[in-house]
Structure 1
Amino acid sequence: MLNWFRTGRVSAAGVLACGLLLVVQQVWFFAGWGGSEVSRLVTDAAYVPLAIVFTVLAARVARSKRQERRTRRAWRVITVAFICQLAAHCSWFAQEHLLHTTGYPSAADYFFLLFSPFMFAGLLMLPGRHRSRRQRQKLALDALIVGAGGFVVLWYLLLGPVFKTPGVTGWERAYTAALPIGDLLLVLAVSTALLRRHQADTPAPMRLLAAAITVTVVADVSYSWIQVHGGFTGGSWPDLLWLAGCFLLVLAADQQYRRPPRPGAWRGDRNAVSVLPYVAGAGAYLLLAERSSHLPLDPYGGMILGSAVLTLLVMARQLYALRENREMAVTDGLTGLANRTLITERLDQLARQPIRPGGHTAVMVVDLDGFKPINDTFGHEAGDAVLVATADALRAAVRGGDLAGRLGGDEFVVLMHGLPSRETAGAIADRLLEALRTPVIFGEHVLMVEASIGVLVRDEPDASGDTLLQQADAALYAAKRAGRGRFEYYSDLLDTRAREAELRRAVADDELVVYFQPAVELATGELRAVEALVRWNHPSRGLLGPDAFIELAEETGVVVPLGTWVLRTACREAAGWREAAGRPAATPDAADVRLSVNLSPKQVAQADLVRTVESILAETGFPPDRLTLEITESVILHPDPLTIGRLEALRDLGIELAVDDFGTGYSALSYLRNLPVTVLKIDRSFVTGIADDTEARAVCEAVVHLGEAFKMTVVAEGIETADQAAALIEMGCTIGQGFYFHRPLPPSEAGVLVRREYETRGQRHRT
């Protein structure tokens, strides 16, 4: 039962029942069914279940571990206030319909009076935004202004009449005055709580509590007014307000319990609550003007009118100053566009809006290409001129209601709403790019500027404002990588963090698979080695080659665990082939097929590389002298002593080292003499043109002769035709791999090929 209660089903049923009860009472009241006595009974009876529900729900909030500690502490005090309300309603029903007692003030009146100080304390205890001492002082002044305005109204309606009403005992007079004073405390507490949050999203529970207190205060004032001027009778119109206030308390407690334990971030936008002090001041003066209308113009009329007008003008001036300060706080000083503060606020607002069909929203991040050289060459004044010109171009592109802003430096943001299609955002980005290509005249110089733009068309309803900006930024960098001076749409493939997490899950969940591409003797086609090549068996995109994810793995560091996984898996597979062919690890044969595995530069930089390789070989049983580890040219171009030490340690284990894609970089030949490298692999880009490109043929011949000079084995990659193979044989290259001989094979097919080769060699050896 307790678990059922905690899930919210009971509270939802209670809220629904209270709503239905309120509707029934309202219908009963306005229909006038059963006469005044029955109407009083129905009305007074309706209070009790409402009070029980909001008290129980408040107690649940006060005990809930989902709420932060300060919130629970505040709601404990609010629960005491609700208990006073419950006791008051129960007492009122008992004295009116069971005991038939009269008297003013009654026991119920005292409980009603106790509600105010406890509610006052609970509201002030609710957590708000941290403020400086000056901000707290301003908040206190704003709340006191609201309280002073409320005091003027209460004095006119109640306190003044109470002190001059004849035939009222001192105790009755004191209670009648105490009730509006308690209401004044509630007005102060509510205004303080709301003003304290006007720079944040005022949560629904706070708004509901404020509405409940407002309705209750109006009802209390009406009750006291009626008591002073003739006596209150149950079932009259103030009960409608009290009941509505009770239902709002039910909703407030329920919403507070349902509120996320970590609400959204604070926002800095204005809120209508910030004008409360001005409304209170204006209301008080209007009331004063109405009450003083019968006074003679000389001297009171002119003085009162002048004071009211003077105060209202000061308020108007203050509101203007607030607006001016606000604009200064959210405007970029150089360009006049929105600054980062306003951009962040609008992005947060955008993230909370529902996605509507046919009304697309786009976030564009604009970054100037080549801005830094302009600053460095012509000075910051020239850079500022370019930024101002960029701002003018953005203003001309955006419509009313859209936003153009500067994030900082040479980076800008455009937020556009209500676009008819995704393609419209691209068309606007194209126009922006063209506009930004317009030369900027600075003195005698003509400054040429281009820009790159990342475009996000929002389609994720749960993405936060920060996420939207990050996604647009990812699209921007994709545009820069694609050549600059262009725009790119955001897609999931550009989300580096999400793709990194997905790739890490792929490694952990065995979504990767190792294929093997054979390398053969060019003259005979005899199998000499197999190279391990990783593939990603993506659950939705199918089998992906390394081009789809290796660059990401290198950028994010995932290549280290991925490379370790590939080495372990390849060694385990190859060891299984050897055992199936009757070649145990303990007796390796020089005729055994070699296994080649790539090492990334980040793997080579790992301090525990040698230990990792040793443990994998020990775990899988694969012989180290049949393993070739391939490194890239970048490793041999700038080798540090630690790197050289790791490579020599691998060599000492019996492992052969190869330089992959040789010829594509700027290899330092002197390092080839000092590093423990024994194999050079000619990059496929040179092999592709070897038959008809003299330069590619010259490079291949140079690498072959270089290998002969250093007593290294040379392997050609990417052989796809017989002419390419013949040309390589002619220049002295003996080993090659490519589609002409074998495509990369899945483990099962590669295993069949290797075992067949072992059987052939075994038969040749026996004969």
Structure 2
Amino acid sequence: MGEARSEMRGARDWGSAVTSASIVLLGAYLCWYATGWGSEWTRTVVTDVVYVPLALAFTALAVRAAAHRRLDRAARRAWWVISAAFGCQLVAHTLWMLDEVVLRRTTFPSWADFWFLAFVPVMFAGLLLLPGANRRHRDHVRLAVDVLTVGASAFMVFWYLVLGPIFAERRTDLITKLLTVALPVGDLVLVLAVSTVVLRRSTRAVQGPASVLAAAIVAFVIADVSYVYIQLHGGFTGGDWPDMFWLTGCLLLVLAADRQYRWAEHREIRVERRVAGATWLPYGAIVIAYGLLGVVAGVQGAYPVGGMVVGSIALTGLVLLRQVYALKENEELAVTDPLTGLANRALVNERLAVVTSQPIRAHRRTAVLLIDLDRFKPINDAYGHEAGDAILVAVGTALLSSVRRRDTVGRLGGDEFAVILEDLPDQAAAEATAQRILDALRLPVVFGEHLLSVEASVGLAFRNTATVDGDALLHQADVAMYTAKRAGRGRFAVYAPELDGSARDAGLRRAIETGRMVLHYQPEFALADNRITAIEALVRWDHPTHGLLMPEDFIDLADETGAIAQLGDWVLRTACREALDFPCRVAVNVSARQLAQPNLVTSVARILGETGLPGGRLTLELAEGALLPIDEHLKARLDGLCALGVTLSVDDFGLGHAALNVLRDLPVSTVKLHGSLTAGVHTDRAAHDLAAALVAAGHALGLSVVAEAAEHEAQVAALRAMGCDRAQGFGLCPPLSRTRLDERLADPARA
């Protein structure tokens, strides 16, 4: 690790040294040039020589940036092409210096001219390869119109200054004209590439260096146009003022390459909006073009007029087309998610309102998919919001690729997305789309050096009746989505009325209020003499449609919706009231949510007072997981319960994460071993030894030990032999209704 850091620090020092040397070199040259020292030939020689080290610097730094491993793959590919373009400049400047300084010849075209021209297509390709943000089709059209607007305006300027005069020159042969025109035409191509880079959105990892590249190209274009213009009106000599722009462009290339390397080291990857000035670039170009048209309006001659008229016509058409797209863009701003480019919640609701207002057609289905990302928050917390944004953008792209063009895809907020599928042939088509989405989202997202894996849970709801509005349809999809999450995530679920937690929650609360909840009781036996030592109260839901529901069918729902507090109060009050007739304690389960309530002790005291049951005849069974973490508030509540005379028992011990030594800090008197620990004590030696060790450890801590799930006589005998205090299970006595419990308690032999 230390060697890697030393190497990286050495690379930074090398790049900084080259960049600083380039700045000093150009600064010294400008100071020398400003003094006017030396002859015309001296200025030519010095100027030509200065180009070579600057070209060597920006080529070497570009290769260094392209080879950086932390740079995004697309950006590396672009910078390798840009490095090749820089290499063309290096060769061109070297050949130019050799021809003019060493060989003292100025032929046209020279080999240097061909390398200068080769720079144009290679640099054009490199600029366009720089990665940008994901865009919609309409964004691509708007970008193309903006770029062509700038290009048309630049064409008018080029035509007036250089292209028109070149074609108007009658003494020059056609081949020479074409070679002369190649340089300004190449510059026009670079203007289009620079406009594309400036006007589109890019990642911040390339946006800053690309802006410097764009400035360098602008300096080159100004120098090239000036060079051709001077050549047409008297002749150019080395060391003239256009060289100031060329040299400035060379230094900007050095800075761009160095800056790209530094961006790669910081690995700052985030979507960057266009700067405010770039938005006005097409309009600024129009102003310049029409200003030029006004200047030459009185100038006679065919060469400035012909091309400018054509450019003006094209420019006017492009402006009109641009305005059309600008109006459409303004209309969509209020209904588009700025990060992903998808529809936002407002547009999704609007589309749902339209869909649900239409009549239902035979053999045609409308479906809504609600997509919620799984494990998005841990990724966002671990890698930062930039990584979260990258995932959200990738999810938007995956969703668009998984549906038809006419389907609506939107982001509702956070990591929640919605898809509206219209005019489907059947339910299977919607389910196939949901599966395609799940498969697409399983592909990892590349973020810097990391591969981030993300999955989703998808809820699917169908419009089956004309009375279902958009909000109801979205709610149904939400219910199905949470069902998919509870089933294990990374899957989809189809809405059914029985899945609707809100309806079931209302039904559960209504059952509590109207007496549809009942208690069954299961005795607990002392293994030494088989007498009943306690009776556990177990709640059941007497459902009018589904019959008698066990706790596993509704306890999770009650806990999720908060109805567990109301249900817990009802169970405790009913059990205390009925336990007045019991010959032993009554045990009541307390959920984690109940145990966390600050008023728990007050509530238990009130119920004991209302029912008249002494606190010493009540045992509260606490879920093992509810006891962790142990804090002063939890201990205070447990101490308060003990002060009422209530005994405390740890239920389902061994299923969660509590250890026996943790129980030393809590005022509990009993542990109930989970059934998975006692099921095989009569057939499996390892299971027997583990249960025996737990029983011994419990006794060592002064706790009574109760075995759950005692189903067989041999199992009960093994538990008795290892010294277990009490047992409970179907093998001893199943849960009984109050009537059957009374019958059993009334029979001394059975009791």
Q: TM-score range by the shorter chain?
A: 0.5 to 0.7
Q: Could you tell which deviates more after superposition, 343-352 or 386-395?
A: 386-395
Q: Does 1:709 align with 2:700?
A: yes
Partner of 1:482: 487
Q: Which whole-Å CA distance do the structure 2 matches of 1:391 and 1:432 have between them?
A: 11
Question: 2:514 is matched with which residue: 509, 514, 522?
Answer: 509
Q: Which whole-Å CA distance do the structure 2 matches of 1:691 and 1:356 have between them?
A: 64
- Distance verdict in 2 for CA 1:743–1:419, change over 3 Å: farther
Return the offset for 1:368: 3.3
Normalising by structure 1, we get a TM-score of 0.52
Q: Does 1:527 align with 2:518?
A: no
Partner of 1:340: 345
5+ residue gaps, structure 1, are: 1-312, 579-591, 762-767
Contact 2:376–2:454 (Cα < 8 Å) also in 1: yes
1:406-555 to 2 correspondences below 5 Å = 406-440=411-445, 446-459=451-464, 461-522=466-527, 524-555=529-560
Contact 1:366–1:452 (Cα < 8 Å) also in 2: yes
- SS of the residue aligned with 1:595? strand
Contact 2:660–2:698 (Cα < 8 Å) also in 1: no
Q: Which whole-Å CA distance do the structure 2 matches of 1:383 and 1:571 have between them?
A: 52
Q: What amino acid maps onto 1:323 in structure 2?
A: K
Contact 1:450–1:485 (Cα < 8 Å) also in 2: yes
Contact 1:663–1:699 (Cα < 8 Å) also in 2: no
Q: What amino acid maps onto 1:726 in structure 2?
A: A
Return the offset for 1:698: 4.0
Q: Does 1:725 align with 2:730?
A: no
- Distance verdict in 2 for CA 1:721–1:350, change over 3 Å: farther
> After superposition, what is the alpha-carbon deviation per residue over 1:268-322, rounded to whole angstroms, capped at 9, x for unaligned?
xxxxxxxxxxxxxxxxxxxxxxxxxxxxxxxxxxxxxxxxxxxxx9999987654
Q: Does 1:398 align with 2:403?
A: yes
1:661-700 to 2 correspondences below 5 Å = 661-693=652-684, 696-700=687-691
Partner of 2:613: 622
- SS of the residue aligned with 1:629? strand
Q: Which whole-Å CA distance do the structure 1 matches of 2:449 and 2:604 have between them?
A: 64
Return the offset for 1:484: 2.2
Question: 1:657 is matched with which residue: 634, 638, 648?
Answer: 648
Q: What amino acid maps onto 1:665 in structure 2?
A: G
> After superposition, what is the alpha-carbon deviation per residue over 1:497-537, rounded to whole angstroms, capped at 9, x for unaligned?
33322221111111100001121233554333211000011
Question: 2:636 is matched with which residue: 616, 641, 645?
Answer: 645
The number of residues matched between the two structures is: 434
Contact 1:595–1:627 (Cα < 8 Å) also in 2: yes
- Distance verdict in 2 for CA 1:721–1:669, change over 3 Å: closer
Q: Does 1:563 align with 2:568?
A: yes
- SS of the residue aligned with 2:747? helix
Return the offset for 1:442: 5.7
Q: What amino acid maps onto 1:663 in structure 2?
A: G
Partner of 1:574: 579
Q: Which whole-Å CA distance do the structure 2 matches of 1:610 and 1:386 have between them?
A: 47
Return the offset for 1:427: 1.9
Return the offset for 1:565: 0.8
Normalising by structure 2, we get a TM-score of 0.53
- Distance verdict in 2 for CA 1:760–1:395, change over 3 Å: closer
Return the offset for 1:600: 1.9
Q: Which whole-Å CA distance do the structure 2 matches of 1:375 and 1:737 have between them?
A: 47
> After superposition, what is the alpha-carbon deviation per residue over 1:403-453, rounded to whole angstroms, capped at 9, x for unaligned?
112223443211012223333322221122223333445676655443321
Contact 2:527–2:727 (Cα < 8 Å) also in 1: yes
Q: Which whole-Å CA distance do the structure 1 matches of 2:646 and 2:387 have between them?
A: 59
Question: 2:593 is matched with which residue: 596, 602, 614?
Answer: 602
RMSD: 3.1
- SS of the residue aligned with 2:720? helix
Q: Which whole-Å CA distance do the structure 1 matches of 2:639 and 2:414 have between them?
A: 48
- Distance verdict in 2 for CA 1:730–1:619, change over 3 Å: same
1:265-344 to 2 correspondences below 5 Å = 321-344=326-349
Q: What amino acid maps onto 1:645 in structure 2?
A: A
- Distance verdict in 2 for CA 1:728–1:479, change over 3 Å: same
Q: Does 1:349 align with 2:340?
A: no
Q: What amino acid maps onto 1:570 in structure 2?
A: A
Q: Does 1:746 align with 2:737?
A: yes
- SS of the residue aligned with 1:454? strand
Q: What amino acid maps onto 1:745 in structure 2?
A: L
Return the offset for 1:717: 0.8
- Distance verdict in 2 for CA 1:354–1:719, change over 3 Å: farther
> After superposition, what is the alpha-carbon deviation per residue over 1:694-718, rounded to whole angstroms, capped at 9, x for unaligned?
5543442233112212322211111
Q: Which whole-Å CA distance do the structure 2 matches of 1:723 and 1:395 have between them?
A: 62
Contact 2:372–2:416 (Cα < 8 Å) also in 1: yes
Contact 1:682–1:714 (Cα < 8 Å) also in 2: yes
Partner of 1:631: 622
Partner of 1:58: none
Contact 2:345–2:413 (Cα < 8 Å) also in 1: yes
Return the offset for 1:743: 1.4
Q: Which whole-Å CA distance do the structure 2 matches of 1:467 and 1:515 have between them?
A: 38
Contact 2:460–2:495 (Cα < 8 Å) also in 1: yes
Q: Which whole-Å CA distance do the structure 2 matches of 1:541 and 1:666 have between them?
A: 35
Return the offset for 1:357: 4.4
5+ residue gaps, structure 2, are: 1-317
Return the offset for 1:375: 5.3
Q: What amino acid maps onto 1:539 in structure 2?
A: P
Q: Which whole-Å CA distance do the structure 2 matches of 1:630 and 1:442 have between them?
A: 49
Return the offset for 1:599: 1.6
- Distance verdict in 2 for CA 1:401–1:657, change over 3 Å: same
Q: What amino acid maps onto 2:608 in structure 1?
A: L
Q: Which whole-Å CA distance do the structure 1 matches of 2:687 and 2:360 have between them?
A: 55
Return the offset for 1:570: 1.6
Q: Which whole-Å CA distance do the structure 2 matches of 1:440 and 1:754 have between them?
A: 65
- Distance verdict in 2 for CA 1:401–1:522, change over 3 Å: same
Return the offset for 1:546: 0.7
- Distance verdict in 2 for CA 1:554–1:370, change over 3 Å: closer
Contact 1:425–1:457 (Cα < 8 Å) also in 2: no
Q: Which whole-Å CA distance do the structure 2 matches of 1:395 and 1:636 have between them?
A: 47
- Distance verdict in 2 for CA 1:602–1:384, change over 3 Å: closer
- Distance verdict in 2 for CA 1:651–1:450, change over 3 Å: closer
- SS of the residue aligned with 2:650? strand
Q: What amino acid maps onto 1:632 in structure 2?
A: A
Return the offset for 1:549: 1.3
Q: Which whole-Å CA distance do the structure 1 matches of 2:563 and 2:384 have between them?
A: 42
Contact 1:636–1:671 (Cα < 8 Å) also in 2: no
Q: Which whole-Å CA distance do the structure 2 matches of 1:531 and 1:361 have between them?
A: 50
Return the offset for 1:496: 3.2
Partner of 1:239: none
